[in-house]
Amino acid sequence: MKKVVLVTSGEERLPAGTAEAIRQFADFRAARCESPDDLLAKFPDAEVCWMFGPNLCLKPEALEKMPNVKALLRSGSGLDALPCDWAKAHGIGVYNTPESIAECVAEHAVALLISYIRQIPQYNARAKAGYEWGKVEGMDWHISHRTLGLVGYGNIARRVEKMMSGFDMEVLHYDPFVPGSLPLEEVLKRSDYVSVHCPLTPETTGLINRERLALMKKNALLVNTSRGPVVDEEALADALDAGTIGGAAIDVMCAEPPDVNSRLLQHPKCVVTPHVAAFSCDFEKNFFAASVAKLEKICAELGG
């Protein structure tokens, strides 16, 4: 059996039965590792390292001293927390479980978009503050028969497209890895609403920048549930100030938690949620079931 280690926490963090399920196909141990040195002290002979949340210990300076490591698994979406280039150069596989949160993140992106279009957070605040009942301000958008642009066209974006299909929208998408995708500039120019779903890589850092925001329609809305650094935050705040676009709804920021005085956090045209898109009452069930399945697949591919 392959030696699988969870470096994020002890077994007590796992749902009941999870550790036992992993032990059906692997020699499994778990302990929170606070640093690379801590990892080396606890699991020097690990073959598969599993993590979720912040990466405190799976760093090249530790992994290069662990000759048996053959795979790294980060549960959830995105691989930006792991040293992917280093791992690839050293023949170590890198995996994640985007399927475990795709449905929730898609639901959240759709919820952000619809709530902004219908001005639900704004009217909720006004109603509770004694705003004149029935007075209409800021209803500048409509959902049906508009154009939705998807930046990135993977599992989450395709679910967003399916969820929004009842509104009879035209859907455009940009993804350099998907045949038939449109150029990003064309998607931005033509879309009434743009939802960002690409992973964070060197190529996507700052992808939605000042120049590209300027291409969008004056009343367009931008939704970001991917990673904060994909969008240039200062450029977005400037665009909102200038009326270059109509508004933004975001679940992710460059610094998390952000400074309480962050321009976007305080901006009246920006709705913010605190990086919670992946969570629902089904989160733990989906998250850990996908993790166990991926660990089993990894162990089988490694030969035991």
| Catalytic residue IDs | 227, 256, 275
For residue 37, CA distances in Å to 6, 34, 80, 147 come to 15, 8, 21, 51
Structure tokens given for 265: 């956090």
Alpha carbons within 13 angstroms on the beta-carbon side of residue 211 total 4
- Using DSSP, state whether 249 is helix, strand or coil: strand
**Cα R_g (the chain), whole angstroms:** 22
CA angle in degrees (0–180, nearest 5) for 128-129-134: 75
Query: Contact at 8 Å (CB) between 72 and 92?
Result: yes
Tokens coding 35: 């640093």
Q: How far apart are the first and last CA of the chain?
A: 5
Cα 258 to Cα 265: distance, rounded to the nearest angstrom? 8
Strands (E), 182-233: 193-196, 221-224
CA 302 to the chain's CA centroid:
28
Residue 210: helix, strand or coil by DSSP? helix
